[in-house]
Structure 1
């Protein structure tokens, strides 16, 4: 047991702890705090009429975990009226909320599950953020380090919440975290080693503006030490410019030969794609070829870049053979160009993670690069993103587009604008472009999506591909992108 953890255990016993938001990461947080003897009040905007809340309340009661609940309506009232020692907020709540400011003035510690984990973690931490590619890159880093023989923990936006495992983590372990802008906003603790995959306009329906979104991303390395490592995308201007704010070592990755970059930064680790299609790493000692892009199991140029980022981050700790072993066997992450089934000669794919135009552009390019064509099923909730380039990318893959989502008109407009004489058909599912009250029932969500899947089936021909790549978030119809993807797969497998 590390000293920081021992100190926290001593501190928290008998203290009043507020946990705001009873979600995926905060449920195990409540259990963990209860086990350490904290006096816990849990807050959530939903009440027990929401099935997940009712289930959680019953679960804790059955396990004899004592929790005071403040649910629904004016659920933050106890934070305004009472005094707590420590407050854990949900990632999508700002520290500037009045109730939290009240607690700050009263002397409470304001933090999050992830920030406390980073404070207490004795192991070397690796964090990945960016507008696109976070989950896949995080998983690749985890798989490479695990293949190299390290005992690894995977967490953050993926894997499992790790704070309740802190007692088992040792200084020799490696912890790999996917971190979103929501988690990073206001965070005062950075990871030891970080990747910023890219920065494009995203989540502007939540952030005040683009500047705040960028500022949140920078927190992943803002308090790094001199020995920390920051890996930046040299092909993305905003990401590349972050080198001027770095506190530790800076490394780069680039999906091209980046000759000038390599000449200018000869003492930096730079992962790049050479003229013959090999993924390479340049270190002060020289250049090593690792694997040809065609030998990587998961498709797409964007996945080449994901591997390059992972190579740059792990180059001091693993061998080329470790990378090759993962690249030739790793099948990808669920909901990311995920093969579902083949039916009547048509191959069906699920890419529900494509919650922005840029993600769908990458998916369309990955398919068209491999000579695939067919039907696109798309649509979701807009995040005030830039749609430029989307129409062109879609029409390289599909000439039949089924739209089911509240951003239907935005997708139609960019298709018309960028068609450049290409012929295509658009089918907007009736009612599919509306926003529904959430949480939605499973039955209602299934019935509305079924029409879109049936339409795609009627349009597809043998030898073609049907893929769901949504261009928007799931929150117009579904609880989250996994919910959307799982229901889609259920429908496709039921055809």
Structure 2
């Protein structure tokens, strides 16, 4: 990888654009391989100048509101996901950890993307491989920067790469094994249009080699023009996945995962397992015993008939609908947050005729959903209230004694929390307080 990187960079100045988790990882790698090229950090946040690694290595920093103006066309720019370079400097070309990693390790990478479900599915695939004594690493959007693992990778290593649209936006090469789980409108505040967001996701199939594995569900394939998916060997039904007409795995086999959408994602993995001739029986055992990740339809616990389900990862209407369907009966629903202009029509249509004890609408997104519901229906089948943020309903949630309480906001968290994890952790604290007092 070192020689590959050196050849890509040549004699150019290296610019690490964005100094979050991935930018810091890039700095560590470039420092380790001892390149002689001049190195520069560029980030809009002026506080990064105080970062201990920058201070230690004495790296010059570009920051402030006009920091992008100082980048040059001959720079080797390695960009962190989410930095909107194309918007402000479309004249500049950039690389990323993802683009370089995919190009070099493409034959060893299982790339998994989708609007929802990619973290759970990537983690499940990683655990399947580990259970079969395969050397596997889980990297990417899940939180592990790819460059951090370069020293541990050998030819026999599997790399399960969870890929976000931001990471895929500028890639030049897709992985040899690529899975697209689903496509729903998301991150429109960044991409500007559904078409641009979808195209970023579809880059996972870009320039794949002959004999590569490509998976898309038919309902997702119908949203795009070009036929990409490989021919499927399995059949997906409402409650089971079939192989050669026989049930391979059913919904009831899943001990901890709720909802049909998990079967959809499992079908993708089963197709890959068949493609790579892995042990099917061992894979099924891993899947059946898989527990959901935090903040993803996570049952926090049960206390005298009261259950709190944390689905804080839900940032779009479709994921909230999935969560409500997956749970046998939702009594209390917490919905809303930052309004990013998402179309809530599908969610409104789903909620208007359903019964709940109460829905707590939060933030501007919750306000808009409530207003659209009231426009469509003179009488709703549930009590409701609107609040600015989740913190405002803490005391009322503490008084609930029985039923299923679901946090599935269908909106971003940034109006009240730093991220969806912090929102889910706050919800968890409420249930912990209830448990401690009973």
Question: TM-score, normalising length from structure 2?
Answer: 0.89
2:262 is aligned with 1:303: yes
Where does residue 59 of structure 2 map in the other structure?
67
- Structure 2: tracts of 5 or more residues without a match: none
User: Whole-Å Cα distance in 1 between the matches of residues 221 and 89 of structure 2?
Assistant: 38
Q: Are 1:36 and 2:33 matched, yes or no?
A: yes
Change in Cα spacing, 1:274 to 1:198, as seen in structure 2 (3 Å) is closer
| 2:88 is the alignment partner of 1:89 | no
Contact 1:232 1:243 in 2 (8 A): no
Structure 1 residues 178-197: Cα deviation after superposition (integer angstroms, max 9, x where no partner):
21221111321111111111
* 5-14 or 350-359, larger mean C-alpha shift: 5-14
Partner of 1:5: 2
Q: Does 1:485 align with 2:421?
A: no
CA RMSD of aligned residues (A): 2.6
Which deviates more from structure 2 when the two are superposed, residues 111-120 or residues 477-486? 477-486
Q: Which moved more, 1:85-94 or 1:348-357?
A: 85-94
Residues 209-218 or 417-426, more deviating: 417-426
Structure 1 residue 413 and structure 2 residue 371: aligned? yes
Q: Is the 8 A contact 1:337 1:363 kept in 2?
A: yes
**Alignment partner, residue 408 of structure 2:** 469
> Is 1:350 the counterpart of 2:342 in the alignment?
no
Q: Deviations over 1:145-188 (max 9, x none)?
A: 22233211111110411113223212221111121221111321
Greater alpha carbon shift after TM alignment, 151-160 vs 64-73: 64-73
Of 269, 276, 280, which aligns to 1:320?
280
The question of 1:384 aligning with 2:341 is answered: yes
Q: Go from structure 1 to structure 2 and tell me whether the alpha carbon gap of 1:452 and 1:40 turns closer, same or farther (over 3 Å shift).
A: farther
**TM-score, scaled to structure 1:** 0.79
1:320 and 1:419, CA in 2 relative to 1: closer, same or farther beyond 3 A? Answer: farther
Change (3 A) 1:169 1:329: same
Distance in 1 of aligned mates of 2:350 and 2:421: 24
**What SS is found at the alignment partner of 1:150?**
coil
1:72-471 equivalence runs, <5 A:
72-79=64-71, 85-99=75-89, 101=91, 103-104=92-93, 110-121=94-105, 123-236=107-220, 238-239=222-223, 241=224, 244=227, 246=228, 250-251=229-230, 268-274=231-237, 277-281=239-243, 286-287=244-245, 289-297=247-255, 298-317=257-276, 318-367=278-327, 370=328, 372-391=329-348, 393-394=350-351, 396=354, 398-416=356-374, 422-429=380-387, 431-432=388-389, 449-458=390-399, 460-462=400-402, 464-471=403-410
Structure-1 separation of matches of 2:251 and 2:260: 8
Distance 1:47 1:58 in 2: 14
The alignment partner of 2:424 has SS state of: helix
Distance 2:375 2:179 in 1: 35
Task: Please say if residues 391 and 416 of structure 1, whose CA atoms lie closer than 8 Å, have aligned partners that are also in contact.
Answer: no
Cα 1:494–1:67 change in 2 (3 A) is farther
Aligned residues: 429
Deviation sequence 1:382-426 (CA, Å, 0-9, x none)? 333332332354464633011222202222134336669652111
